[in-house]
Amino acid sequence: MINALRNGDIRALSRAITLAENDVPLSDQLVNHKNGSNVVGITGAPGVGKSTLINAYINQLRADGKTVAVLCVDPSSPTSGGAFLGDRLRMSEHANDPGVFIRSLSARNHLGGLCKNIENIIKVIKFTNAWDTIILETVGAGQSEVEVAKIANCKIVVLVPGYGDEMQAMKAGILEIADILIINKSDMPGAHHSAKELKAMLRLRPKSDWDVPVLMSTATENEGICELIETVERFKVSTH
Q: Which residues bind Mg ion (CB under 5 A)?
A: 50-51, 87
Interatomic CA distance for residues 46 and 57, integer angstroms: 18
Least separation in angstroms between CB 239 and ligand GTP: 26
CA distances to 41, 126, 169, 176 from 150, rounded to whole Å, are: 8, 17, 16, 11
Residue 145 makes contact with ligand GTP by CB under 6 A: no
Q: Interacting stretch for ligand GTP, rule CB under 6 A, among 14-22, 96-104, 181-189, 190-198? A: 181-189
**Which range, of 32-40, 81-89, 93-101, 171-179, touches ligand GTP by CB under 6 A?**
81-89
Whole-number minimum distance, CB 52 to Mg ion, in Å? Answer: 8
Contacting ligand GTP within 193-222 (CB under 6 A):
218-220
Nearest to 50, CA basis, from 152, 143, 156: 156
Residue 102's DSSP bridge partners are 70
In the complex with ligand GTP, the residue whose CB is nearer, 75 or 120, is 75
Q: Give min distance, CB of 29 to ligand GTP, in A.
A: 34
Among 48, 114, 136, 159, binds ligand GTP (CB under 6 A): 48
Length of the chain: 240
| 154-159, strands of its sheet edge to edge | 100-106, 68-74, 133-139, 38-44, 154-159, 180-183, 214-216
